[in-house]
């Protein structure tokens, strides 16, 4: 089957049997088999096979960059590209120990500023610009392969730079980049993450998709205390902190809640809740959405908060109350049967979600017979000794292939 342009329409979605990682010792891209512990009911040997060498060529970083749609955002993106090269060359280290390129404050380096007054001006400018862009998008956006999906970043700015360095930096053409929420709270460089993602959106509006996570929420940001985004803004920006925080919080409330890739894959931060809803309904939900507005609509709240049940457990089916809200009957945990029914209702083949890190995990996880994929991008998160990962999504003939690309943990046991 094809279309007027001769492009073969995808018929199925499969998880690849390998993942990519850059060896920091040799500087060369390596290939390894997926970890069976992250695959649940799937068998590595049964996963889709394709030419890994051809895939590596597809991942070559383009040296051609299209002009940015916004001049200031383009300057910030150019600074980030330079920072990627610096962190790629320096000795690897935990994000919490990193003080910026050549020990210069990373936020000042990213913006090319020498004062927090200038930083505040830029952050407000970016937040307002992004709000205008996402307000024109539906609540569920659309993208086509090739794509790259990033999971939770949580202020791990150095990890974000390394993932962009290792697996490709947005350039105004090529893959669509989907950042699937939870950019703030807990990590050391939260403002830097928000700044870069907002700059990328303004520089390349149609190539960058920003999905809201459960931490892009003022209630969460204040609840987190000293590790929360509110306190970080006040601590780093002093008298400018409140105005910057308020503008970014307003932008968070306008963010889309999901993205559908090539009519086959739904990317959403948390999950599908009870699964008894249609994507088309959410496309037309009006924003902005405050915390209370989200909580008043269980479908929307569960898109940010719900989790899948492991099908190899004793209760891997059906819909259950979640411990995330102390079994308060709002947040749900959903089983394999719920995922399969939801996909059938919506004519989809896969759900990609984030929202959870696993102790000593791989940064990816294939659940519900490969129909529900998890991706988490912050490595060594909160002492979990986990890898970080993104998902590279490409099409080969009539098959959409989902392939993890991994930033290996600095602390995980061999």
For 318-367, the pLDDT digits (tens) are 999 999 988 889 999 999 999 999 999 999 999 999 999 999 999 999 99
Report residue 60's pLDDT band, with 50, 70 and 90 as the boundaries. Answer: very low
Catalytic hit among 215, 269, 355, 368: 215
Task: Identify whether the C-beta of residue 61 lies closer than 8 Å to the C-beta of residue 168.
Answer: yes
CA distance 19 to 368: 19
Which pLDDT value is given to residue 52?
47
Rounded to an integer, the average pLDDT of 31-56 is 70
pLDDT tens for each residue of 262-309:
999 999 999 999 999 999 999 999 999 999 999 999 999 999 999 999
> CA 98, CA 4: separation in Å to the nearest integer?
50
* 215 catalytic residue (yes or no): yes
189-219: per-residue pLDDT in tens? 999 999 999 999 999 999 999 999 999 999 9
- Rounded to whole angstroms, the Cα distance separating 91 from 105 reads 18
H helical segments located in 143-240 = 157-167, 190-203, 218-223, 229-237
User: The pTM is what?
Assistant: 0.94
pLDDT computed for residue 63 by the predictor: 52
Q: Compute the average pLDDT of residues 115-138.
A: 97
Q: What is the mean pLDDT of residues 159-165?
A: 98
The residue among 1 and 81 whose pLDDT is bigger is 81
For the record, the structure tokens of 225 come out as 């205390």
CATH topology of domain 12-407: Purple Acid Phosphatase; chain A, domain 2 (3.60.21)
Q: Distances in Å between the alpha carbon of 110 and those of 26, 54, 271, 376, 390?
A: 28, 34, 33, 24, 23
Q: Return the domain boundaries, the chain.
A: 12-407
Nearest to 33 by CA among 54, 47, 22, 23: 47
Q: Which of 4-8, 67-71, 295-299, 340-344 has the lowest mean pLDDT?
A: 4-8
pLDDT band at 79 (very low <50, low <70, confident <90, very high): very high
pLDDT digits (tens, 9 = 90+) for 227-259: 999 999 999 999 999 999 999 999 999 999 999
* Selection from 256, 257, 242, 243 nearest residue 304 by Cα: 257
- Please give the Cα distance from 157 to 405 (Å, whole number): 17
């Amino acid at each position: 089957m094809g279309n007027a342009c001769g492009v073969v329409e995808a018929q199925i979605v499969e998880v690849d049997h390998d993942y990519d990682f850059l060896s920091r010792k040799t500087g060369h891209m390596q290939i390894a088999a997926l970890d069976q512990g992250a695959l649940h009911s799937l068998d590595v040997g049964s996963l889709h096979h394709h030419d890994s060498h051809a895939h590596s060529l597809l991942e070559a970083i383009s040296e051609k960059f299209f002009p940015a749609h916004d001049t200031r955002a383009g300057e910030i993106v150019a600074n980030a590209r330079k920072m990627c090269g610096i962190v790629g060359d320096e000795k690897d280290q935990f994000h919490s120990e990193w003080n910026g390129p050549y020990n210069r404050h990373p936020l000042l380096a990213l913006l090319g500023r020498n004062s927090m007054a200038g930083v505040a001006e830029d952050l407000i400018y970016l937040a307002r610009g992004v709000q205008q862009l996402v307000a024109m998008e539906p609540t569920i956006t659309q993208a086509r392969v090739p794509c790259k999906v990033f999971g939770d970043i949580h202020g791990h700015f150095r990890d974000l730079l390394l993932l962009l360095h290792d697996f490709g930096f947005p350039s105004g053409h090529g893959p669509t980049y989907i950042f699937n929420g939870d950019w703030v709270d807990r990590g050391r460089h939260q403002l830097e993450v928000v700044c870069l993602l907002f700059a990328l959106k303004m520089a390349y509006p149609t190539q960058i998709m920003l999905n809201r996570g459960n931490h892009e929420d003022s209630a969460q940001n204040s609840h987190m205390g000293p590790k929360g985004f509110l306190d970080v803004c006040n601590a780093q920006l002093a008298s400018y902190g409140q105005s910057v925080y308020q503008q970014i919080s307003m932008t968070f409330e306008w963010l889309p809640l999901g993205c559908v890739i090539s009519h086959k894959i739904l990317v959403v931060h948390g999950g599908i809740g009870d699964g008894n809803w249609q994507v088309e309904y959410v496309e037309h939900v009006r924003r902005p959405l405050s915390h209370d507005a989200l909580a008043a609509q269980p479908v929307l709240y569960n898109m940010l908060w719900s989790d899948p049940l492991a099908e190899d457990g004793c209760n891997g089916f059906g819909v259950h109350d979640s411990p995330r809200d102390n079994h308060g009957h709002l947040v749900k945990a959903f089983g394999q049967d719920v995922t399969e029914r939801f996909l059938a209702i919506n004519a989809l083949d896969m759900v990609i979600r984030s929202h959870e890190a696993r102790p000593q995990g791989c940064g990816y996880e294939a659940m519900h017979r490969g129909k529900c994929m998890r991706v988490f991008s912050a490595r060594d998160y909160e002492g979990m000794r986990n890898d970080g990962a993104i998902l590279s999504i490409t099409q080969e003939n009539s098959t959409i292939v989902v392939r993890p690309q991994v930033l290996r943990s600095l602390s995980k046991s061999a």
